[in-house]
Amino acid sequence: MIVIGIIGPPAGGKSTIAGTLAEQGAAWINADRLAHAALRMGRVKNKLREHFGDSIFNAAGAVQRSALAAKVFGDDPTSRRQLEYIEGVLHPVVGQLATRKLQRLAAQQQSVVVIDAPLLIEANWHFQCDEIWYVDSPWELRIQWIAKRSWTPEQLRQREARQLSLAEKRRYATRILDNSQGPPHTRRQILALWSQLTN
Ligand SMILES: CC(C)(COP(=O)(O)OP(=O)(O)OC[C@H]1O[C@@H](n2cnc3c(N)ncnc32)[C@H](O)[C@@H]1O)[C@@H](O)C(=O)NCCC(=O)NCCS
Ligand SMILES: Nc1ncnc2c1ncn2[C@@H]1O[C@H](COP(=O)(O)OP(=O)(O)OP(=O)(O)O)[C@@H](O)[C@H]1O
């Protein structure tokens, strides 16, 4: 089983690229989705309610991710501590979900798995990967793309500031994908790499 880890800047196209690989037959592990699943678990919600109170929950008792994001992605020391707190709660759960999924896929003899995780290096998941693809997407384009998820450039900057620097992430890459010339150009690079990997 070949495991590809996708890294790059926030809102840089990691999931879009993982989706293209999934269309070709790769199994897709999306760390953001696993974190969202963890936020729906009773034991996780209990811990977050104890720590943050009711203000991050909606009337139906679900975590309101936008409310939690507002508490953890600031530059001030309190926000940093709050981010460390939720990472301490969520990362072990997400790690467990991802490991189980990887084991299941290995048992099913899945040939290619793509792990799309914003904190792949920070969480040491890269040790499980055979290849690391870095998605190179310039800031000027990403601030246009975030309009679709209604982040402001400041919100993008704050999330990026909480991750390993782009220069450091790039050093881990075994391949660099240029995502600056439009979707067809990106897709051609992915399909070329896919055919190298699978032939
Ligand atoms: C704070 C939360 C609720 C905000 O949810 P929201 O829907 O706004 O964002 P979403 O989860 O879709 O993440 C979008 C992007 O934000 C960035 N981001 C998310 N968590 C982090 C983090 N801990 N550090 C830095 N950047 C992060 C990533 O680039 C990610 O791709 C959520 O991001 C969260 O629970 N984060 C902590 C868990 C975590 O570290 N997840 C990353 C994968 S394990
Ligand atoms: N080459 C491109 N041209 C136009 N839009 C793009 C391109 N690449 C990505 N996008 C858009 O940018 C947005 C962010 O892409 P995507 O969600 O794939 O990024 P990501 O790196 O996975 O983000 P996250 O920080 O959530 O992990 C999406 O709306 C996507 O459609």
**Cβ-based neighbour number of residue 179 at 10 Å:** 26
Question: Would you say 147 is a known binding-site residue?
Answer: no
Which atom of ligand 1 is nearest to 69's Cα? 1
Domain count, the chain: 1
Per residue in 18-63, pLDDT (tens digit) is: 999 999 999 999 999 999 999 999 999 999 999 999 999 999 999 9
Domain carrying residue 163: 2-198
* 125 touches 98 (CB < 8 A): yes
Per residue in 85-116, pLDDT (tens digit) is: 999 999 999 999 999 999 999 999 999 999 99
Q: What is the ipTM of this complex?
A: 0.97
CA 59 to centroid of ligand 1, rounded, Å:
22
Place of tokens 């969202």: 36
CA-nearest residue for atom 7, ligand 1, is 65
CATH number of the domain within which 7 lies: 3.40.50.300
Per residue in 153-198, pLDDT (tens digit) is: 999 999 999 999 999 999 999 999 999 999 999 999 999 999 999 9
